[in-house]
Amino acid sequence: MYPFIKSIHSYFAWAALALIIIAIISTILTKNKESVSYKKWAFFGLMAVHIQLLIGLTLYFLSPFGLDNLSGDSMKDSFTRLLAIEHPFTNIVAIILITIGYSQSKKAEYGSKKILVFYTIGLILLLSRVPWSTWLS
């Protein structure tokens, strides 16, 4: 079951990242801030990262590199620390920021700026903690 969930988590990450990037670009290109097209893309990106979070949390508890890897010895190795602590924590913070950006955009007069700022920060955080050496392997 672990290899199946790992492959879903790896491949769905492409879709989630693509939707976040499309949401950011759509927000930048939208001239009429009353338009709902950028909000639709922002919503799709929000849903994608939340689904990715659920898959990732499932993987965290099934993976030998997740919860089972939390020990003093594994914290000395940068790669195991990345998988056990840094990747999950940073990505959860990024998803929280994306969620805040979307919810604030519904309330604020300048909703597109909220999406642009929070989604961009979230994207940078997501990309910073991707285990590039093992992605899609």
Residue 136 domain-assigned?
Answer: no
Q: What local confidence, expressed as pLDDT, does residue 8 receive? A: 92
Helical packing angle, 2-29 and 111-128, nearest 10°: 140
Phi-psi bin for 136: left (phi > 0), alpha (psi -120 to 50), beta?
left
Q: Taking all residues of the chain, what is their mean pLDDT, rounded to a whole number?
A: 87
- Residue range 12-56, pLDDT digits in tens: 999 999 999 999 999 898 866 666 788 899 999 999 999 999 999
Residue 93 domain-assigned?
Answer: yes
Number of domains the chain contains: 1
Range of the domain at 70: 2-29+40-128
Structure-token match 């909703």, residue found: 111
Residue 34 domain-assigned?
Answer: no
